[in-house]
Each structure stands twice: as structure tokens, then as C-alpha cells.
Structure 1
């Protein structure tokens, strides 16, 4: 075997091209016992293989590339899935089913959609181009039907689990929602390395999801290597230990017939015991070498009948037989699908060859390798196609064309009537405690929502990774109950001293997960997708400790990219959680969440601000033009009178408008009189206002600005320089008038970089105070002093700016 390189001038970088094994071996043999229907499916599988390969070929060889940067694609990864996806789509799926397709098999998905008339031919040459087919399946950006976005390995695989759970919840609370079928995940065996997969599999709620089916493309190759043998048995055992049904589709019908005949037992034992690396090497061998390699090291080949069996086949026949794996055998796949147990989740390990049917078949470096033009011509001949006319569908009057038409009708989805969340109030109307924290207010807000806006509250579902009580959801849970797939007896129902009533009841509105933030945000994203999947919106509110937002960033981001809308609450937060020590003290979350698309980040300081902003966030959930929200809350009690809440209804409404726009001034005097302006966020407002009063005692007029959302302030600043979609926000100019410049001191319980952009509004000299080092256990005041965000530090910063 040799390798060659494409011309660097053509691709922008060297790219491996793998020399083909003899074309006769690459021809995809039909199932030995195939019925006419299965032969038709095999024809469709070959067409899927061709189309998916040609889609990638057209993007690389057939499209002008002025950038010189390779386009890429994964022909081998699509090839290993061709049989599995054909069997699933053309024999099993219903219109109610939903499927997540592994990232690198996106061309195979588009090929099937094209054959079913769900994708226009004009898109087949647009893979990885603007407005074209996305590199990985995208629910929001691809032009054809994609049920789940994938591309972040492991995250897309778990999404159907959370979608199934979300549908169960939705159907119980809103029976008018459409029914659902099975939720399939098609994933590669290398994805099993991802921790997100196992966090999802072992969650107690998942074990009840009989509608969940995972099909693992067991090609035993990852990007860089061949996966060791022992890994497969370990994976099967881990699924079984999590109460999943484990099915294996290992051998095709043709090789199984040989196993049942003379010498077959020895042949099966040899193939079963063969290390993955040795098997892959046989795949790359010339057919004349295969008999010797199969017999190598078998001491009893004569006595067991193995040699006689091997010699009864021509080298080419033997080379084809060793490739006869269950994941490429339509009949074996369909038989395996028929064994699915709908009372528990199922995983099917389908043995495949990476690159099956391609010249790169089984090569250890075929992950991103692409066929040369001559190899494409060979594949076209095998497939009954033409490289000059690559996009032919089956004629309508052929059995394959008729099956495509019947499948298209079977999978046709009826339009879903969309329900909008209407009537979210601007305020709830109840007063708040004189001294309270935003975390405590969260619990109060949810209870008030239940009695003040019950129809809105009915769509709220809270989710927690075993921190419901410590994030103040106790009152909400007492009112609504806990929802779970598996009802459990409450053995503490007669305990009069119990404060929290943990009752799992029909209609409960809280879902408790295990301690896994990845599961939390993944479920929240799917709960927030029910409006687009089944027409009924929910308002998911997830709570977790703020420092652990970082642990969940990737799946959270990916859920939003896929269209999931939710409200995520990080609490408690910051070094204000001083006694908990550095492990629980967050510092970068205000900056990180400000940078996330389709997310508004909030950090209100006062109870009334939290109420207004939560209602504002709810209005943006469950709608095509909506977005998610993040709230950073604190356990530190704050004197609510500091906010200076207006009593006049007109001024109160003006305050509300400013709060939901991103911030407001607390000072009694106008901004034009500021000698220095102190800008605070969240729990730091006590110190900010205290510092302003101290500066006043020195004869320095200090203005105070309270930001509820640095995120919205930043957007307001950006909008000054461009025409933005929607109404232009003027909050930046309102809080920092261009004609009234003043030095700025910014303060927050987080990284000071978050507010550094404020200096650019007017070009003010600025000192940014915040947390820039890991913390330690202490009192709150000791923590503030340690990080330089205490009242004295703010005063010193103001004096420094004024040269005093």
C-alpha cells in the first residue's frame, strides 16, 4: 500500500489520498439471502453511498476555491453509515420519529433527503459553502429536514434522550400536543469517549425512556487510530449496567451461512478473536493475501476444518466474506430493529467498516481522505452512475423509485399549529422584603407567578442538578410538586417537621436530575425546543451554582445553536459566597455569558429588578425570534431602599423600562453634575452606594449607575455604529450622556474586563475593579477587601481618577 499527496497548490495543504484495493473487492455484495424488497434497499444504500461521496467530491474538486483553504468532508464516515441509514429511513421510521445523525455523516443524511424529494438538487454542490449544506447536521441552518443539530461530539448524540423526556413532560401537561414516536441517535463508536454520553446514560430518568434507541456505527476507527478490542465489550457492559437493552448486529447473512457449515465454528472463532488492527490490515490486503492472513497463527487449521473452508473459496470470495458485517447487511439490520424492547432504552452496536465500498475502505488514515477523480469514476461505475451527471434519482417506475415515493409519503409531517405564550405581565404587583437577596427573591418570584399569572406559570418547568433547595426552589416545589417518569412513594409525607415536600406527582413542574450540569443544560435546551418541535412552548428555568456554568458551557452553547431557548440561573455567585471558599467562588461568568449569541445576560441587584427582568426574559421564550437568558444571582442580603424605587407610577414605569433595557441611575442629581461616576452590578451595589456617600462627604459629586445587564449595555454601544434589527437601544447614551463626560469606576463581583468597554462610550478615564484571582474561604468583607472591591477601594479609585 502506498500513499500520495494532492498538489498543495490545489488544496492549500497536503491531504492524504489512499490508494485503492482492487475495485472488485469494493463492489458492495448484495445480501446473500436477500428478498426482492431487500435487494431494492441495497440499491438505495448504494445510491446513498454514491450521493454522499459525490456531495463531498463536488465541494472539493468541483468548486472554485480562491481561499486556498481546504473544504474537507468525511466520505468514509458517511460510507460506514449508508446501510444503517437506508435500513432505518426506508423500512422503520415513521413521521413521528426523530433522528440525530452523527456529525460526519451529514452528507448521507442529505443524500437520503434528496432521494425523498426533501432537498433541491441545487444544494448538492454547496456543502460547506455560504447558504448551503452545513458541515454537520444543523436544525436551524440546513435547507432540508434535520431533527437534531450535531457536530459537538457526544452532545448531539444525547439530545434525543432529552427530547424524549421533554415530550413526555409536554404530553402530560398539554395533552393536545402531537404524539411522538421513537427518538434515534446514530453515533460513532469514538463518540463513546465523551463524558457527556455517560452522564446522560446513567441519569435515573433516562432508564425509563423506552422510546430512545441508539445505533452505534461500530467501525472501530476514530480520527487517529483503530479502537482496541476490549473497548467494545466494556461499552456493552456499561450500557447493560445502566439498564439499557443491548443488541449487537455483528455479522452479515453470507458469513453466517459459512459459520453454520463445515469448518464454520473455527472460522467464526478466528474472526471473533481477531484483533481490530489485524482485521483492518486484512481489509487493506490484496485478495490473494487474504487466505494466508486468515489462516495465520491458527494451529489447528487442518483439524478444525478452517483450512478446507478457506480453500473452498476463491481469494476474491474470501475477501468479500470477511467484509460481510451486520451494519452493511440490510436484512440483519431490519431483524435487529425488530428486537427493540420499547420498555427501556436500547443500544444497537452495528459492526461496520469505515469507508465501506470506497477505495479508502478500512484504511487507518481514511478519516478525512477523499477519493481521487479516477477513484470517483470507479465508484460511479460500480454504482451505475456517472461523475458527469452525478445527481440522478431513481426513475419513478422502478422498484427503488416507488419505494422512495412510498417512504416520502410515510415520513411526510403535517404542519403543526404553533401556540404562542401570550399575556406575560410586566410586573406581578407584590412588594418585596426590605432586606433580601436576589437568590431568595427567585423563590418568591416563582411563588408569586403561580398566583399572579397562573397561565404563564403553568408553562414553567424548573430543572436542577440536585441543588433545588440550595438555590431557593423549595417554595415552588411545595406548590407544584416534582415530575418524574417513575413515580416513587413519599415515605416522609407524614413528617410534620419537614419543610420541603418532595412529592412526585402527576402535573409536577420540577425535574430533578443527578449532579451533572451537562445534563441540566441539555434537557433545558430540549424543553425549550418543544414550541418548534410540537407547537407547544414551555418556559424552562434551570438552576445551578454559578461557578459550574463553565462546566456546562459547550452543551449549553450548542443547545442554543440548535434553537433551544431557556432561562439559566447561576446562584450563588461570586466571592460574595466567601465562606464556601475558592472552589465555589465564580469570577468569569459575567464576561463569558456576555459573549454568547442569542443569550441575554442579567445580574440584577434588587428584588424588583429581578422580577421585572425575569418577566422580560419569559417574554422571549418559545418563539421563533426569541432567545435565552442567563441570570447571575447572589445569596448576599441587600438593603432594597438603596435602589430608590420611585413611588410615582409614571416614574416607576420609566424605571422598569430602564431596568429591562440594561441599567439606570440611582443618583438624585443629573449626570451633568457628576465629578466621577460609579458603576455597579449585582450584590456590589451596597459598596458602590456607600462609596458614593463617602465621596460626597469629601465634597466630590459621585453619580451612581446600577447595571442590570452589562450585556444589553454593550449591545447598545454597538448599535450606535450600525443599523441594528429591531428598535435601537439608547440606554448607553441615557446612562452616560455624551455631553457630560466623567471618570468612571466600575465594580462587580466578577472579572473587571466585563465592564471595561464602558470607557469607550465617551472616552472616559476608567478604573475597573473586580475579581482577578482565585479566592479563599473568608467573611464577605474580608473577600471584598482581598480582591479590592470593598467600599474603601472604590473610594480610592475615585480619588485616583480625580487626582485627589
Structure 2
């Protein structure tokens, strides 16, 4: 998309171009000065660099100025590429959304974050974008989350466009293409991506010309593609005699040659373009321009043309997602402009002085705003008022029950127990069920969500005809409707957890609470780990269910046996990891976790479940309602002892288990007792909460697990510990510190293979005989 007219004073939108240019010049200076102050203006005796990205910020200034000062509405939400955070802060400062005291605090404690952070920055940041590629896709899932929210609750506030400002190097990330390729995304016309095409990554100028491939990939996914290659100034030159030759020459240059031309002295520009060409029209055109005019023209790229940008943003088709490829120069307007190693380069004091002079500023007084009486000052004030958002109201109160009250009498797996819980929820707690949305990457039926889906339907942007509605043999009713409560994505775990994070942020974005629950095969939790963690860092609250897990799913084969996921869950911030053994424990713990989702101060949860049916009688639930409530409280705190009547006094050995392996732990304890050895059993529902309980000793108010560690391992009754886990044994090794006991940790430390469950347990030495052997060994027998 190029213009054929001369560079206008007023673009078609009516924006005042000279005023926008003044603001862009000030923003470019402020963004560079913010980084300079962090590196040269603060004492630093650690020897560790502070850093920053002046060049990456400079390339996107005009794009962001065109948006914030001419285009955005208050309902719009924007994700800003990580290395442009100083530009965002500079703009927010001019809009009155950030105090001057923060400008020298980039990367300092309590100051501006290194990358945009929705929760940690003091000004308005819509999306955290520190994870390259993942932050760029967040608006995609926020748009879908808002669509879902609006389909369920009439009170949902309206939303505008969801915009991603993406560095072109980010397009190397797989998360980008997993999101773009999802078929549902092609229906979200509120999506706008602007790719800052500066053709540089961290280490190099990107070789070859890849724009055609990238354009084709977006177009093939159903996106509208707009390319802003040249600005209006040089586009006018292309219309003169010799102009087409000039355009052909510039567009055939490799990226490296073009940027080397920018680095050369302006007097060399013409000869570098000609490169020995004898074309008389081209020579005549170049000769008609002054050195300064030609140097300016070859830098006139579409991503720096404010008028072209404003007009483009204002005329985009809103019926399908749009990708705008905006050509830019990395380091635009800085002495490092176009240098292949400018990514983290910092301007020297002399270079900052020169930039200040060019910008009408000084290093001694770097933070000047525009005079309120000037045209730029008035525009900043007006746009600041237009973009100022009202505080988001508190989400509606939803009283999640602590129990559904249905007994569990038959052997059932925790995975099947989850399916039953969700199906019962629609009848027993409809207000809570109305807030639940489930997600799955094409594994809904195999993770027992069928009952829930049959009752609530599958959500779709548009209603779709169910061609199997009259099939009497169908068990799963796959009805895709705009008010369904299950969202099915393709087999892309990154998409799943990215959507989960945004569904879990609706309470803080729009004041409407959701309780998002996603099921995923546990071995693939590691694949989804970074975007899952990113979602929690950005404020998303949700429940991730990894199932089936461990070598308990032995017939599935070694590659599908998760070993490290328990440790991942225990170590993940803003998340509680659970691994209940019994369906009743799952019900209690899951409802407890649901109560913590979608509320101020809440948190996420990760449940590691199994397909192994377990006899509920092994849990020895008390009949007395008061004792049953006591058991529930212990379960949601992290664990309990079996049987409850067992006295730990004179206990010779304590067996600790969690999840699907608990039956073997109980059987081993019974065998030991038959041999006259007083063996206790601790059944953990959350090793995570038990660890927190141990850590908070002496300052218990700061933790979540209370004093459960002392209930489970009373100091007056020390005994050697045998921990057993269908996962890496390291996960429970911290229990040695509860009382200073000797410990032997059993678990899975090697890849498995297809087998039966009993064979798998024996192979990894977590079967009953191995547990008994470990106990006897630690007792010296």
C-alpha cells in the first residue's frame, strides 16, 4: 500500500501532521533519555549492566504516536513489543498517566520494568510482553475471552480493538504461528497486528527478503494483509522519470546493503544506489536531488510516515483480523541508525547531547512536557482525557460451595471424578457453573469432559449446524453454539494455556469473573510451561488439569509418562499444585481452588490427575459430620494421616504418598504392621502447600498451608520417612527438613516403556514390595 500524492500537511483523517511530528520527536528523545538515565544517571557499583534498547524503541516511535495520538479509543487494548517499553512510558508520561519521578527509574526496584508489565508498572500497560512471541499473541486470546464473556453475560462492557505491536524478529517464534493458524481466529475482526519490520534481530541484519513468505502465511490463515513499505515523500519520487528504476533498485537490495547505505556518509548515497548503473533517467533523478534530500528520501519508509500510518489505521476492514507490515529502520533518528549491532547499544554522552539538541531538549532538563498552551500540549491533554479509563469494578460475588455432598462409593479415578464434579456442578451449584468455562486442545472426551459438554455445549464465535444431532449412537453431543461453555482448540498446548490466562484475567479487565479450567495431557505441561507461567505473571487466574500423569498410564508408553511435572507445579509462582488420590479429596480441593480464581488476591491451581481407579474405602472417611469437615479442612490444607485414629507416638517409620500411588503406600504400611512395625501413613493432597507450611514457620500469617506440616509430622514423634511418588522423587525430598528425619525417596527417575501398571511400578521400584523393602532398609532390618 503506497501513496501517489505528495506528503500532505493534514492526512485524510484530519490529524495535524506537524503536531504529531513534534510529539514523535519528543517521544523519541524521552525514550532514549529514560534508558540513558538508567545507565548513566544512577550509581551502579555492582558491575552488572542495566541495559535497555534505544534502537528498538526508536524504530516504532511513529507507529505508536500515530496510534495513541490519533487513533486509539478508550476501549482499545494494546500489546507493545518488549523492547519498546520506554516508548510506552514516554507516551504515558506525555498523556499525564505517569509521574516524572518514574522516568529515571527504568529497571530499578519499584520503578519502570524492563519490559511492559501489566501488574508491576506504575502506568497503564494492557499486556505484559516480556516473553517474546507470547506477549504478542495475548491480544488474540483477550479478544476471544471478551467474545466469550459477552456471549454469557449481558453486563459485559464493550471492547474495542485488540492490537499487537510486534517486532519482526518475534515472527520467528512458534507461538505466533500456532495462534495465527487457529481457525477461530480468522473470525475476530477486532484484531490488528502491526509488525515493526526493521529487519534486524539481536545479533544481525536479517538476511534475505522474507516479507513475501510472511505475508502469504497471514493471508493463508484468513487475515487481511497491508504493507506500508514506502512513505509518501519517496513515493512521489517514484512517479518521476527514473522513479521506477529507483524503486526497483531499492527493493532489490539485500537488507544488509540497504542498511550499509544508511550508515555511509550522505555524499555516497547516490553512488551506492547507482552501483555502476548507466541508466540515464535514474542518474538524472538522483542528480536532481540535494545530498540531504536523497538521504531523507531513502529513509522515508512507511512505518515512519505519520500521515500514511494514521490513514491506514483509520481505514482497516474490521470484518477479519489485519496484519500491517510497516517497514522501519532500527535506531531511526539515532546515531546508531541501521547499525547491525545497535540492538543493545547505548548512546554516548556526546551522542545524547547531539540528540538533545536535535530534539530541542537538554540533558540537564530531560523531562520537559509540552507547554499546555501549545498545539502539542493541547493534543496531549485532550488525548490523555480521551484515553483515561474508569476503574474496573469488583467482580460479582460467587459463593463456590465447599462440597457437593455426593458420596463416592465405587472405585473411580481422579480424572473421572473431575468429569463427575463438573457435570454435578450444573445441577448443584448453577451460579458457580455459570462462571465456569472449560478448554481443551482436542482432548476433551479423553479427559472426561463429555458430561459437562453435553450439558453446556461447545462455544463458537457463530452457531454451527450439528450434522450428527440425529445420530442415535453418538455419546458426546458436540453442539457448537455461541453460548456454549466449553472452548475447543486445535492440538496446540501453547494456545490452550494462553487462552486460559486471558479467560482468567476478565475479572480485572472488565469486572466479570470467570473460572477457567483447562485439561491437558500431563506429559505436555512442560511444552506449555512458558505461556502458562506468563499468563500467571500477567495476572491470569485459572485451573490447569494435567491428566493422565506418571507411569500409572504405563500402556501409553514411556514418552507419555510425565516425571518432572510435580516439581514444576510446586515451583510455579502464583499457583498451587495439587495431586489428590481419592475422588472425594479431588472434589474438596477442586472446589477450594475454584474459590480462589477470578478474585482480587486469588491464584491459579495445577491438578495432576490419573486414570487409575482407586477404591474410596481406602480413604477411611469418618461418618461423623464434624470429623468429616475436619478431614476436608486437612485435605485443602495439604494432607492428612491414615487412619485418622492412628497415634503417631512411637511410630517407627512414616510412609508418605500422594496421588495414584497411595494404595501401594497403604498396602505397604499394612504389611509392615503385620510384621510388628508401627508404620504411619501420610496422604498428601498438595506437597506444594505442605512445603509452604514448612517455610512459613515462625511467620505463619504469610503462608497458605497453615500449620499442616506440624499436624502431619509432629515434632514429638520423629520417625524415618519413606516418600513415594509417581514422579521424580526429588519433589518430596524437602520433607526431611520437617523434623530432621532420615529419609528415603522413591519415585521415577528414568524413561519408561509400554507395560501394565504393576510392571511399571515394579520397574521403577514404587510397588508395594519396594516400599516395604525401603522401610526395612531404613530401619536397618
Q: TM-score, normalised by structure 2?
A: 0.98
The corresponding residue for 2:192 is 213
1:169 partnered with 2:145: no
1:63 partnered with 2:16: no
SS at 2:525 equivalent: helix
The corresponding residue for 2:656 is 679
1:271 partnered with 2:247: no
The corresponding residue for 2:8 is 33
Paired residues for 1:748-767 under 5 Å: 748-767=725-744
- Structure 1 residue runs without a partner (length 5+): 1-30
CA displacement at 1:421 relative to structure 2: 3.8
Whole-Å separation in 2 of the counterparts to 1:115 and 1:723: 45
SS at 1:435 equivalent: coil
Paired residues for 1:335-350 under 5 Å: 335-350=311-326
The corresponding residue for 2:177 is 198
Using a 3 Å threshold, how does the CA distance of structure 1 residues 677 and 446 change in structure 2: closer, same or farther? Answer: same
CA displacement at 1:458 relative to structure 2: 0.3
The corresponding residue for 2:391 is 415
The corresponding residue for 1:154 is 133
Whole-Å separation in 2 of the counterparts to 1:222 and 1:443: 47
CA displacement at 1:721 relative to structure 2: 4.4
CA displacement at 1:205 relative to structure 2: 1.3
Paired residues for 1:658-697 under 5 Å: 658-667=634-643, 668-697=645-674
Select the residue among 42, 48, 63 that pairs with 1:84.
Answer: 63
CA-to-aligned-CA distance 1:458-513 (integer Å, 9 cap, x gap): 00000000000000000000000000113321111100000000001232100000
Whole-Å separation in 1 of the counterparts to 2:340 and 2:262: 10
The corresponding residue for 2:223 is 244
The corresponding residue for 1:355 is 331
The corresponding residue for 1:6 is none
Paired residues for 1:230-379 under 5 Å: 230-298=209-277, 300-302=278-280, 305-379=281-355
CA displacement at 1:33 relative to structure 2: 2.4
Aligned 8 A contact 1:217 1:349 in 2 = yes
The corresponding residue for 1:785 is 762
Select the residue among 656, 660, 685 that pairs with 1:708.
Answer: 685
Select the residue among 363, 368, 382 that pairs with 1:387.
Answer: 363
Select the residue among 397, 400, 404 that pairs with 2:380.
Answer: 404
CA displacement at 1:724 relative to structure 2: 4.3
The corresponding residue for 1:132 is 111
CA displacement at 1:623 relative to structure 2: 1.4
SS at 2:702 equivalent: coil
Whole-Å separation in 2 of the counterparts to 1:171 and 1:33: 41
Using a 3 Å threshold, how does the CA distance of structure 1 residues 33 and 412 change in structure 2: closer, same or farther? Answer: same
SS at 1:205 equivalent: helix
CA displacement at 1:414 relative to structure 2: 1.9
Aligned 8 A contact 2:392 2:510 in 1 = yes
Aligned 8 A contact 2:637 2:705 in 1 = no
The corresponding residue for 2:3 is none
Select the residue among 22, 27, 35 that pairs with 1:48.
Answer: 27
Aligned 8 A contact 1:33 1:254 in 2 = no
Select the residue among 442, 449, 470 that pairs with 1:466.
Answer: 442
Whole-Å separation in 1 of the counterparts to 2:668 and 2:705: 33
The corresponding residue for 1:504 is 480
Aligned 8 A contact 1:461 1:538 in 2 = yes
Whole-Å separation in 2 of the counterparts to 1:487 and 1:297: 62
Aligned 8 A contact 2:225 2:323 in 1 = yes
CA-to-aligned-CA distance 1:260-280 (integer Å, 9 cap, x gap): 111111111111111111000
Aligned 8 A contact 1:421 1:619 in 2 = no
The corresponding residue for 1:699 is 676
Whole-Å separation in 2 of the counterparts to 1:56 and 1:405: 25
The corresponding residue for 1:100 is 79
Whole-Å separation in 2 of the counterparts to 1:142 and 1:297: 53
CA displacement at 1:251 relative to structure 2: 0.6
Paired residues for 1:440-479 under 5 Å: 440-479=416-455
SS at 2:569 equivalent: helix
The corresponding residue for 1:771 is 748
Paired residues for 1:180-195 under 5 Å: 180-195=159-174
Name whichever of 116-125 and 65-74 sits farther off: 65-74
Aligned 8 A contact 1:421 1:456 in 2 = no
SS at 1:541 equivalent: strand
SS at 1:364 equivalent: coil
The corresponding residue for 1:110 is 89
Aligned 8 A contact 1:587 1:772 in 2 = yes
CA-to-aligned-CA distance 1:694-724 (integer Å, 9 cap, x gap): 1111111111110000000000000114454
Whole-Å separation in 2 of the counterparts to 1:438 and 1:369: 54
Name whichever of 394-403 and 106-115 sits farther off: 394-403
Whole-Å separation in 1 of the counterparts to 2:513 and 2:210: 41
Select the residue among 52, 58, 62 that pairs with 1:73.
Answer: 52
Whole-Å separation in 2 of the counterparts to 1:229 and 1:313: 29
SS at 1:672 equivalent: coil
The corresponding residue for 1:19 is none
CA displacement at 1:416 relative to structure 2: 2.5
Aligned 8 A contact 1:100 1:156 in 2 = yes
The corresponding residue for 1:495 is 471
SS at 1:767 equivalent: strand
Aligned 8 A contact 1:419 1:537 in 2 = yes
Whole-Å separation in 2 of the counterparts to 1:585 and 1:726: 32
Aligned 8 A contact 2:693 2:704 in 1 = no
SS at 1:515 equivalent: coil
Select the residue among 520, 532, 535 that pairs with 2:511.
Answer: 535
The corresponding residue for 1:18 is none
1:598 partnered with 2:574: yes
Name whichever of 333-342 and 149-158 sits farther off: 333-342
Aligned 8 A contact 2:463 2:480 in 1 = yes
Whole-Å separation in 1 of the counterparts to 2:538 and 2:600: 12
CA RMSD of aligned residues (A): 1.1
Aligned 8 A contact 2:653 2:720 in 1 = yes
Name whichever of 779-788 and 256-265 sits farther off: 256-265
CA displacement at 1:177 relative to structure 2: 1.2
Aligned 8 A contact 2:447 2:547 in 1 = yes
The corresponding residue for 2:712 is 735
Whole-Å separation in 1 of the counterparts to 2:494 and 2:408: 34
CA-to-aligned-CA distance 1:541-563 (integer Å, 9 cap, x gap): 00000000000000000110000
Aligned 8 A contact 1:380 1:386 in 2 = yes
Q: TM-score, normalised by structure 1?
A: 0.95
Aligned residues: 771
Using a 3 Å threshold, how does the CA distance of structure 1 residues 639 and 280 change in structure 2: closer, same or farther? Answer: same
CA-to-aligned-CA distance 1:371-413 (integer Å, 9 cap, x gap): 1111111111111111110000011110101111111121121
- Structure 2 residue runs without a partner (length 5+): 1-5
CA-to-aligned-CA distance 1:277-319 (integer Å, 9 cap, x gap): 1000000000111111010153x522xx111001111222211
CA displacement at 1:420 relative to structure 2: 3.7
CA-to-aligned-CA distance 1:736-791 (integer Å, 9 cap, x gap): 00010011110010000000000111111111000000010000000000000000
Aligned 8 A contact 1:77 1:367 in 2 = yes
The corresponding residue for 1:11 is none
Whole-Å separation in 2 of the counterparts to 1:503 and 1:420: 29
1:485 partnered with 2:461: yes
Whole-Å separation in 2 of the counterparts to 1:77 and 1:617: 41
